[in-house]
């Protein structure tokens, strides 16, 4: 198999998902890639082989604040009982899982999950597929370049959206819908239509991976529903026909890791995030009591965190997880992230049962005040893609934006970000 990234790349991709021979998938440093394809497409950015990080990647001292020695205290939740169905709300397995989830989500918003049934071979193929994709020549990856205002596609350091505080990473994102609701294999279609038919095997791997993640996410939603006293099916049903997003993150080694970030501090706008870390390279950190604590990769476990949309759905009872990813001098890192989202037009508002349960618990006649206005996922997605760079205050800024006239001008003032952060604000 040729190792020149200008040749044979699709052959290498074709191997993914079949019998994966790691030697054949061995990395070819994109540093060897001159950033141009046969048609002369210019490179946008090349993170490989830099001796110093370019200025747009330098984050302020406050933002790169040194990591704590302490690991995050994240419970390991066995969702086997929820995955198997059968068990009712009162079954010991679900009850135990719900207690752990409640503790974690009321404090920092992150827990780990076992008993999820993800086929290790599928997980391996998805991780190796990401490794193979990001080592392709830039021009090939750019066939999937993200269009402005769009969440899907390939980006290098988000340089297509921002000019400062660039993350030290490349990403590939695509949408997922359940075949029963979409009537097609949307992920396979995405790969073949943007990258070409040679990429069908990789598309199949990610289609299967997304299907598995969706099932795991819905099982977790059952546990969360029990933990909030609204029963197993409420949130499961709410998300069953959702249109979720999958993102592959690739963090190359970095010459000055202490001056930059792989992913800046933010809460995910989506509802629930299910993340797979590759091997033993850590990087994910969560802010707790003013310090960044590492989420150490745990073999076989998935990392699950609450996002802004679920914070709104729980009327603020569960906290959207504020997290970031750091990079390393010598080691590269990969992560696969599945963002569970509702259907675009579904109205996000806490279930009446939850508000009643809170009122009963607090022995109040009236239901608690609604913390966030009604919104649709389409609105929040548009806000974060066009008007606001997701950070720790996205949901509050979005609520203000909805309260004001939802025009571009309103977004600029409501989203009180510094000019370079809000660079994309139209």
User: Which residues are known catalytic residues?
Assistant: 333
CA distance to 26, 159, 254, 275, 356, per residue, from 328 (Å):
20, 21, 6, 19, 48
CB of 198 to ligand AKG, least distance (A): 26
Residue 337 as a binder of ligand AKG (CB under 6 A): the answer is yes
CB distance 184 to 243 below 8 Å: no
Instruction: Give the one residue of 243, 263, 315, 385 binding ligand AKG; rule: CB under 6 A.
Output: 263
Length of the chain: 426
Instruction: Give the one residue of 12, 185, 323, 382 binding ligand AKG; rule: CB under 6 A.
Output: 323
Residue 204 as a binder of ligand AKG (CB under 6 A): the answer is no
Residue 223 as a binder of ligand AKG (CB under 6 A): the answer is no
Residue 311 as a binder of ligand AKG (CB under 6 A): the answer is no
CB of 410 to ligand AKG, least distance (A): 26
Residue 335 as a binder of ligand AKG (CB under 6 A): the answer is yes
Which residues in 68-127 contact ligand AKG (CB under 6 A)?
A: none
Instruction: Give the one residue of 284, 288, 302, 327 binding ligand AKG; rule: CB under 6 A.
Output: 284
Instruction: Between 236 and 293, name the residue whose CB sits nearer to ligand AKG.
Output: 293
Residue 116, CA atoms < 13 Å, CB-side half-sphere: 29
Nearest to 327 by CA among 391, 281, 393: 281
Residue 172 as a binder of ligand AKG (CB under 6 A): the answer is no
| Measured CA angle at 121 (ends 237, 20), to 5 deg | 135
Residue 64 as a binder of ligand AKG (CB under 6 A): the answer is no
CB of 79 to ligand AKG, least distance (A): 20
Residue 385 as a binder of ligand AKG (CB under 6 A): the answer is no
Contacts with ligand AKG by CB under 6 A lie at: 247, 249, 263, 268, 275, 283-284, 323, 325, 335, 337
């Amino acid at each position: 198999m040729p190792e020149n990234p200008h040749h044979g790349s699709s052959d290498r991709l074709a191997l993914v998902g079949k019998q994966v021979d790691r030697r054949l998938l061995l990395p070819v440093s994109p540093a060897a890639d001159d950033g141009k394809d046969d048609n002369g497409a210019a490179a946008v950015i090349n993170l490989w082989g830099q001796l110093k990080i370019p200025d747009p990647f330098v984050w302020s001292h406050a933002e790169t604040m040194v990591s704590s020695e302490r690991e995050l205290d994240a419970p390991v939740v066995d969702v086997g009982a929820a995955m198997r169905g059968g068990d009712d709300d009162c079954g010991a397995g679900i009850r135990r899982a719900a207690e752990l989830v409640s503790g974690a989500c009321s404090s920092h918003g992150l827990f780990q999950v076992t008993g999820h049934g993800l086929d290790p071979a599928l997980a391996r193929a998805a991780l190796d597929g990401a490794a193979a994709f990001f080592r392709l020549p830039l021009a090939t990856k750019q066939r999937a370049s993200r269009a402005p205002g769009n969440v899907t596609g390939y980006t290098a350091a988000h340089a297509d959206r921002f000019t400062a505080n660039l993350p030290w990473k490349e990403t590939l994102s695509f949408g997922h819908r359940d075949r029963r609701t979409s009537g097609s294999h949307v992920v396979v279609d995405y790969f073949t239509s943007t990258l070409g038919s040679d990429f069908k095997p990789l598309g199949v791997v990610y289609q299967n991976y997304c299907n598995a993640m969706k099932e795991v996410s819905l099982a977790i939603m059952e546990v969360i529903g029990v933990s909030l006293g609204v029963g197993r099916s409420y949130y499961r049903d709410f998300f069953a026909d959702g249109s979720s997003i999958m993102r592959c993150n690739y963090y190359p080694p970095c010459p000055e890791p202490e001056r930059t970030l792989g992913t800046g501090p933010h809460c995910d706008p989506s509802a629930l995030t299910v993340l797979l870390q590759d091997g033993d390279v850590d990087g994910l950190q969560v802010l707790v009591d003013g310090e960044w604590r590492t989420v150490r990769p745990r073999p076989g476990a998935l990392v699950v965190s609450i996002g802004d949309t679920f914070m709104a759905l729980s009327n603020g009872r569960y906290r959207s997880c504020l997290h970031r990813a750091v990079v390393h001098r010598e080691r590269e890192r990969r992560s696969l992230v599945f963002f569970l989202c509702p259907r675009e037009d579904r109205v996000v508002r806490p279930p009446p049962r939850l508000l009643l349960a809170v009122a009963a618990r607090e022995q109040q006649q009236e239901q608690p005040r609604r913390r966030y206005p009604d919104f649709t996922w389409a609105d929040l997605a548009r806000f974060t893609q066009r008007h606001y760079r997701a950070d720790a205050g996205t949901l509050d800024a979005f609520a203000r934006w909805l309260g004001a006239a939802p025009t571009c001008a309103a977004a600029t003032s409501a989203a009180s970000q510094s000019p370079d952060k809000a660079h994309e604000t139209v």
